[in-house]
Amino acid sequence: MSIRPGRQTVIVTGLTYPSAITMGPVGHLYVSNVGFYLGPPLAPGSGQITIVEFRD
């Protein structure tokens, strides 16, 4: 994947309230999904860690 500086590039869709991101040791992006929610309380354990793998 080529990302051009100064431009916005969508790299992942379909997330619900992503609250944190970090890069892993092999270059994957880890996203905390459903890290918070502005609606009725969610059940404990509803959050997710989503792994985004980049391909050329």
* pLDDT tens by residue, the chain, 56 residues: 566 678 887 888 988 888 899 999 888 999 998 877 677 777 777 788 999 888 76
The predicted pLDDT at position 22 comes to 94
State if pTM tops 0.85: no
- Predicted local confidence at residue 55, as pLDDT: 76
Catalogue the E-assigned strands of the chain.
20-23, 29-33, 48-52
> What is d(CA 43, CA 53) in angstroms, rounded to the nearest whole number?
28
- pLDDT value at position 31? 94
Cα–Cα distance, 52 to 42 (Å, whole number): 24
| Maximum pairwise Cα distance, the chain | 40
